[in-house]
A and B are shown apart, each in its own frame.
Chain A
Amino acid sequence: MTEPQDEWRLRFQEMMQAEVSESLRRRILEEASQREREAMVRRQPRQTGAWKSWFAGLAGVCAAAVVAGVVWTDRSLPVAPTPPTAATTGQSNRLLQETVFGLQKSQLIATGIKVVRPANAPGGPILQATVTNIGNTVVTPQDVVGVLGFTQHPGQDLLSTSNWIDFVNGPSGPLAPGQYATWSFNPIGVNVNSQGHIIGQPKLVFFSTKLVSPAKADRILTSAPGVQLQNVHVVPRSVSNTGRSFEVRARLVNTGNKPIILNQLLSLVWFSPQAGASWTAASAERFFDQVEAVDPSTTIVAPGQSTEVVLPPLIGSNTPNFLQWNANVLVISHTW
């Protein structure tokens, strides 16, 4: 029998509810951003130029790359000597270890992110969001790298709790302060449930490509301690009209004194046309990937032990053929 309390709860669940519109959200963020700028001016009296707040209309469609990847190199921080690798593609491939990268959030903020084409539709899902420059300087595509992930709940941390995560491009053109644009992305390989719906809540964050010291960073990426990759092979898989797929295979050695839990690792894979180029380079192809044992029964690697691992297939842009470039791999701890 239904209790009166439950009956009322059921009634109220069917009640029409007002939703926050995208224009209201933008109004709030723009006003907050304006207040931040004014506060900044007050704190810095020598910068007396009045802010000219202007909000342009739709700046244009920013189509993100089909799949982008990562590249991290902080020249101000020590990077371990390049260990020997045996990559099958590219030249002077390198494997970075014991590396720390400081990331700072950019002045681009993504709002209203939603699925505009379902995962089970031909061509796969498409996500759309409004990207607004809430800062006080122009942001160009080279200034930012986006990270898209799907978390179980909206408020969860993107980087440590996403069930799927990848790098995405920012807007295709420069965005002036206050200007916004529609961003869209086709997350190939995203996790879906039995009904074909994407699992999790999408979250999109843009980081500045200018790396900072860990003390100033919003997020810090560190290489996973005790993890060493040997015999790294980049294996091309297929080329289609929409992309070029590959996977990475390697032997993971636990050189530390604690067990390595594979599902707590993420790999950073990037390809750059110039040897030694940073992952932040505009020309780089960047990827996030999981680290899985070839033998699925292996989930933990004990100290001193090793196992064959594979970074599951990734798809990058079709042209240019980035697989001929310099490949870089870095394994980071998932709990960053």
Chain B
Amino acid sequence: MEEFQMEAGSSDRLDQLNTWVTEYGSDVLNLAYSYVKNYHVAQDITQDVFLRAFTKIQTFRGDSGVKTWLLSITANRCKDYLRSWVVRHETNDLTLQTEATHQLGDDTEQAAIVRLERDALWRAVNRLPVKYREVIVLFYQRELSSAEVAQTLGISEATVRTRLHRGRALMRELMEGGERS
């Protein structure tokens, strides 16, 4: 478990937040991207996650690691987003908006988005149903243990193992299908 020391001052909290962004920003952003499949929305969720963590910094007890705590917030925020009215009713608009935003993004960011979208593994992961996708990403990409995945998602370890097994099989099918086509 990561060490976490509660610090009192405003500057310390901001410094702590900055450290978290450095250490876990990539974990949060990639998990968010795996849920929402949109780089800019994933960035917005990442910002929201860290700000929520920041406001709760005094109440964080350290019972779990900081990483699993942040990823747990991320998973919940993403599920809220996917359930939201915006996603259910404005999918087409969102797509258009995303394309427009892509054109406005700087070259480095645009290149990163293109690389993400072209990555064969990401494409396969993104085609998995959410319940398999989240455990696959947390376990293999973010390298959490099955116990940590269970804690992050609020499910049992047995369920994690079952979904990993099924998720791998689906991934294999998707990737072999992709290779054949």
The answer to whether A and B belong to the same complex is yes
Stretch at the interface among A51-59, A101-109, A260-268, A310-318: A101-109
A104 to B7, CA, bound (A): 12
Main secondary structure on A side of the interface with B: mixed
Most buried by B among A8, A31, A35, A40: A8
A70 interface hit (Cβ, 8 Å) = no
Query: In the complex, what residues of B have CB within 8 A of residue A4's CB?
Result: 168
Stretch at the interface among B22-30, B90-98, B127-135: B22-30
Q: Looking at the complex, which one of A18, A36, A104 makes contact with B33 (CB distance below 8 Å)?
A: A18
B19 interface hit (Cβ, 8 Å) = yes
A205 to B22, CA, bound (A): 14
Q: Looking at the complex, which one of B13, B15, B51 makes contact with A205 (CB distance below 8 Å)?
A: B15
Most buried by A among B7, B14, B43: B14
Q: Looking at the complex, which one of A19, A29, A32, A111 makes contact with B26 (CB distance below 8 Å)?
A: A19
The answer to whether B11 and A218 have CB atoms under 8 Å apart is: yes
A11 to B141, CA, bound (A): 9
The answer to whether A9 and B33 have CB atoms under 8 Å apart is: no
Chain A contributes a number of interface residues (CB within 8 A of B) equal to 36
Closest to A16 in B: B119
CB distance from B77 to the nearest CB of A (A): 14
Q: Looking at the complex, which one of A15, A19, A20, A107 makes contact with B122 (CB distance below 8 Å)?
A: A15
With contacts A16-B122, A35-B54 taken as known, whether A24 is within 8 angstroms of B18 at the C-beta atoms is: no
The answer to whether A15 and B141 have CB atoms under 8 Å apart is: yes
B12 interface hit (Cβ, 8 Å) = yes
The answer to whether A105 and B17 have CB atoms under 8 Å apart is: no
The 9 closest A-B CB pairs, nearest first, are: A20-B25, A16-B119, A12-B140, A105-B11, A15-B121, A32-B54, A18-B29, A12-B141, A28-B50
Of the A-B pairs whose beta carbons lie under 8 Å apart in the complex, a sample of 12, sorted by A's number, is A8-B171, A18-B29, A19-B25, A19-B26, A20-B21, A24-B46, A28-B46, A104-B9, A105-B11, A109-B14, A154-B22, A155-B3
Identify the B interface with A (CB < 8 A).
Answer: 2-3, 7, 9-15, 17-19, 21-23, 25-26, 29-30, 33, 39, 42-43, 46-47, 50-51, 54-55, 108-109, 112, 115-116, 118-119, 121-122, 140-141, 143, 168, 171
Identify the A interface with B (CB < 8 A).
Answer: 4, 8-9, 11-12, 14-21, 24-25, 27-29, 31-33, 35-36, 40, 104-107, 109, 111, 134-135, 154-155, 205, 218
